[in-house]
Amino acid sequence: MPLPRCRIAMVATLMTLAALAYAAAAQPVGGTAVLVEIKDAIGPATKDHFLRALHHAEETGAQFLLLQLDTPGGLDAAMRDMIQGILAARVPVVTYVAPPGARAASAGTFILYASHVAAMAPGTNLGAATPVPLGGSPPAADKDERGDEDEERADDAKQRKDARPGSVPGGASDRKAVNDAIAYIRSLADLRGRNVEFAEAAVREAASLPAQQALAQGVIEFVAPDVTELLTALDGREVKLPHGTQVLKTGELVLERFEMDWRTSLLAVLTNPLVAYGLLIIGLYGLMFEGYNPGAVLPGVVGAICLLLALYALQVLSVNFAGLALVVLGVGMMIAEVFAPSFGALGLGGLVAFVIGSIVLMDTDAPGLALSRGLVGGIATMAGAAILGTIWMATRARRRPVVTGAEQLKGDYAEALESFEGRGHVRIYGETWNAVSTRPVAAGQPVRVERVEGLTLHVTPKD
């Protein structure tokens, strides 16, 4: 009996060794790196996707996170959240502006400066990082901040007059925004040892650089035509992390692509300004049609869902609530014109409110996040055509003769039910009426209705 037990132990040992050998063979010798791509404006969806990829890289023990970037810019809040994630990351972040023809403009420049390693493909560019206003005009300052407003305006005028090339234009609020952005990007440049002068020029003067010049001026570390060449260049490079220094080993590295999940994809679609605006319009019209046709159900269900999705997207995009109120008011007035014609007063007023509200709804020049004026113009044109059509139909209906009620009877012909002179009975439109005639009327003779008094027709025999 001892022999079988020994055999069982040997078989178990061999199986364990085989499993360990298989696991070792399956494990990449050089480790892994996570690749995440951003090919859109920096917004809530792209921020969420990037931070989830960074968390995944930390949890799986990846050597670094490779961010392949192609962006025209985006929202300041989303950009700062991404940069905070990079600065606090436990793994290095390598930002690679690619493929050729891509750009890292505006917010993308800040992200590139914050990264542990910055690289670009030939034919790409970065820069133009001057901040743009979001959400309309800057809010009024508090009483303590206003101080001597006349003195501040005089100081603004003097600075504009004496301004040197490349100085910050605009008033105090503009200078605050630009100077804050300059200080932010300079701190990132100092942290990573990159060109501080260009960082400031990118914000102050919207300066831009192609890849080779960025490399020559110390803005980036590498120019690589593709990811393979980039990984070769990264091999052996030291990067500083909050917990110490790490040496990148990319000789046998395996790239793991981090794809956007359905939730983030849905968020990306909803936070597109065109989609959010379209959902808002569909939601408003759906609810209003349901209100005018109770029991239709479908317009109400579709309208409620679209409106809730639109409100979620708009609160993420930080819209101007005055613009939102004007859009709602304008749509309501235009629909009211259809059901209660006011010969254009409600409709035209609603159209004006709708256009103004749409223009200021997302009053931002942030690339990729501005509302298309063409879309607003198209919807306004269709609404205006509907209003003009309503006015035309109302005017036409007003000019047509009355075809119902007592007014319809006047001038029409009835048939005498009996012979009479004075009072009798006639039939018209299948109804029997009392009739009065000053002339003799024979039974069955057509008579013309001259006027209607209550339930009596004053008639005249047809010659």
User: For 406-461, CATH number?
Assistant: 2.40.50.140
- Give the list of residues 6+ apart from residue 363 with CB closer than 8 angstroms, or none: 133, 134, 135, 136, 137, 320, 323
At 94, list the tokens.
């390598």
pLDDT at 165: 45
Domain with CATH 3.90.226.10 in the chain: 25-139+179-263
Q: What is the full DSSP assignment across 58-101?
A: HHHT-S-EEEEE-B--B-HHHHHHHHHHHHT-SS-EEEEE-STT
| pTM of the predicted model as reported, rounded to 2 decimal places | 0.66
Instruction: For the chain, give percent helix, strand, coil, nearest 5.
Output: 50, 20, 30
- Give the list of residues 6+ apart from residue 24 with CB closer than 8 angstroms, or none: none
Q: Quick one: fold of 25-139+179-263? A: 2-enoyl-CoA Hydratase; Chain A, domain 1 (3.90.226)
Residue type present at position 384:
G
For 84-135, write each residue's pLDDT tens digit. 999 999 999 999 999 999 999 999 999 999 999 999 999 999 998 887 654 4
- The CA–CA distances, whole Å, from 142 to 54, 145, 178 equal 39, 5, 20
Q: What is the full DSSP assignment across 246-273?
A: EE---TT-EEEE----HHHHHHHHHTSH
* pLDDT tens per residue across all 463 residues of the chain: 444 566 666 666 667 665 555 544 444 445 899 999 999 889 888 999 999 999 999 999 999 999 999 999 888 888 999 999 999 999 999 999 999 999 999 999 999 999 999 999 999 999 988 876 544 443 443 444 444 444 444 444 444 444 444 455 556 777 888 899 999 999 999 999 999 999 999 999 999 999 999 999 999 999 999 999 999 999 999 999 988 899 999 888 899 999 988 888 888 888 888 888 888 888 888 887 777 677 778 888 888 899 888 888 887 776 777 888 888 888 888 777 666 666 667 778 888 888 888 877 775 556 666 666 777 778 778 877 877 776 777 677 666 665 556 667 788 889 999 999 889 999 988 889 999 998 899 988 999 998 888 888 899 998 7
- The CA–CA distances, whole Å, from 172 to 141, 146, 155, 169 equal 11, 11, 9, 9
Strand, helix or coil at 209?
Answer: strand
pLDDT at 107: 92
